[in-house]
Structures are given as structure tokens and as C-alpha cells.
Amino acid sequence: MEKVLVTGGLGFVGGHLIDFLMTNRTSVCVFDNLSSGTLKNVRGWRDNRNLTIVKGDLLNTADFTKLKNGHFDVVYHLAANPEVRVGSTNPNVHFQQNVVATHNLLEYLRKTKSNPSLVFTSTSTVYGEATKIPTPEDYGPQMPISTYGASKLASEALISAYAHNYDFKTLIFRLANIVGARSQHGVIYDFAQKLKKNPKELEILGDGTQTKSYLHISDCIEAMRLAQAKSSKQVEIYNVGSEDQINVKDIAHIVIEEMKLKNVKLKLTGGVDGGGGWKGDIKNMLLDARKIKAIGWKPRLNCEEAIRKASKELLIR
């Protein structure tokens, strides 16, 4: 039975990944500090003997001793602070929780000499305000405009260096905006929370024209599964995103419709740096996913379908 470690496995993407791994009879160890993740995300597997949950923080290297058998076949590194906006007021959060945490994990893997396959969830924000849309994996120079994007790009570089120096394979996924059940951050979640407090008015950060790619979590997990099965290079990078885009105002209308609200006033804040929602917010993003599509993956849902399905899933809770 394959032995797998998942850092941040109690988070949104982690919970869905655990569902897939456990369904496929994998021995899974989750390493999570429970700062944003929750045991509810894996509640269907809590009593399964093939799932072990370790409360540990990647910033506290002493916690690695809780992983009594440090040899894993695959390590999924999902642990990170996912809030892009945090970086504009507290950039140290992303440096510590993304860069330092990744370095500590890599050092642990180096010292245990387990040489697993490492799967890392990166982000479309590493490209910054790309001038080429859709943006391919070889686009450059990459100039992130958020500390979140910068911290993920730094983590990618560390992972690549360790993979080449210590002889293990790694897969890096640059993800679009992933949406779906169990998400506790992002535009759909934020809109729903605001409308629950005030069903007559919805504040939208920015000018509402921010246009980006949104992918349902089910398509994301399928992309990760397929790429892992078919990739053989030492370091492989894949964009994972939808084939189309949607703007923030259209997302607002979908959430309002799904909440069955009427006559909701949209209040646009106007935004910063040409209409972005915050410092570091990218106005236009669409990933070129031809590379991963060439190995057989294709998103089942377009942006509108993904947003509508995720809205339904989040509102059911």
C-alpha cells in the first residue's frame, strides 16, 4: 500500500485530495496545524485505520518527530497561507508560512533520505500581471505583484533545487482560483457571508471588472491525479485552470441568484491600481493549460458552471 504524507491535509483542497486518496486505498498521514483546516474536511474517514492525523506545524521542526516513520512514497505539500490580501499588511505571514515552511519540509525530507515524489500546489499569481493571455508555463520573466505569489515562486525554486540535488521527482501545479464545497475563503465564500449579513447590499472590492479563471475542485483533483500518473521528469510544472474567464460582477450575480435574493444593490469600492480589489490583486488572469490537456485532462465545467456549482455547495452547508 502506497504511503502518502499530506501537509495541510485538513484544508479545502486537502480534504478533497484525502477523499480521492482514501477511496483508492492509500495509507495517508495528514500533517496539519489546524490554523485554517478543520477535521470536518475529513470526517468521512476519521475512523479509517489507513488515515493518521498528526497535529504539527511546519514552522516548528520539533513537530516532525511526530512522524515516527519518515519514509513516504509521495508527499503532497499543500500547507500554506492562502489569503493573498494578507500580504499587503503583513508580508511576513507569507514568508514564514509559505517559504520557511517549505524549506523546513525539504530539510526534513533530505535528512530522512526518503526521496519521495513531491507534489506542490503553487499558484497562477507567480506570473504577476502577465502580458501574454492565456499564460503558458514558460512565460517570463515572472514578476509577482503580491507577496503570496512571490512566496510561492520562491517555494517552487527551493523545491526544484532540492529535487535536483537530492534526487527526487517533483510535480508543481500552478492553480487557477479553485472553488467548491468546504472552501472557507475566496470570492464566493466572501460574497455569501456578506449577503447573509446584509441581503440588500453587496460590497465588491475593486471596480468589478477583474476577470479571472475559476476551476471546480473536482476538475483540480482529476488534473493532479492524471499528471502524477503520467509525468516522469525530475521537475515538471503544469498550469491547471479553466479554458475561459468570468468577471467579479458576474460572480456576484450568480451568488445572488443561488441565494434567491432580489433587488440587491452592488456597491463597488472602485479599487486600487486600476480597479483591483487590493494591492497585489491581478486584474486579468487566464492560464494556458495546453500542456496538461496534451496528456488527456480537460475541465468538465467552465467558469460559470464551476461558480454556480460551488455556490450551491457552499450554500447547502
> What pLDDT digit, counting tens, does each position of 161-182 carry?
999 999 999 999 999 999 999 9
Total residues found in the chain within this entry = 317
Q: Classify domain 3-178+214-240 at the CATH topology level.
A: Rossmann fold (3.40.50)
Residue 226 has what pLDDT? 97
Percent of the chain with pLDDT over 90: 85
- Give tens-digit pLDDT for 111-150: 998 789 999 999 999 999 999 999 999 999 999 999 999 9
pLDDT band, very low/low/confident/very high, at 90 (cuts 50, 70, 90) = confident
Lowest mean pLDDT among 81-85, 277-281, 286-290: 81-85
Write out the CATH class of domain 181-212+244-283+301-316: alpha beta
The radius of gyration computed from the CA coordinates of the chain, to the nearest angstrom, equals 19
pLDDT band, very low/low/confident/very high, at 157 (cuts 50, 70, 90) = very high
- What angle separates helix 248-258 from helix 187-197, to the nearest 10 degrees? 50
Residue 271 has what pLDDT? 83
CA–CA separation, 71 and 76 (whole Å)? 13
Average pLDDT value for the chain? 94
Lowest mean pLDDT among 12-16, 88-92, 130-134: 88-92
Cβ-proximal residues to 218 (8 Å cutoff; 6+ apart), any chain = 16, 180, 300, 301
CATH 3.90.25.10 range(s) for the chain read: 181-212+244-283+301-316
CA–CA separation, 181 and 233 (whole Å)? 33
Cβ-proximal residues to 48 (8 Å cutoff; 6+ apart), any chain = 22
The DSSP secondary-structure symbol of 276 reads B
Cβ-proximal residues to 55 (8 Å cutoff; 6+ apart), any chain = 32, 33, 34, 66
Residue 1 has what pLDDT? 81
Give the SS3 label for residue 302.
Answer: coil
CATH 3.40.50.720 range(s) for the chain read: 3-178+214-240
pLDDT band, very low/low/confident/very high, at 87 (cuts 50, 70, 90) = low
Residue 234 has what pLDDT? 95
Mean pLDDT throughout 50-64? Answer: 96
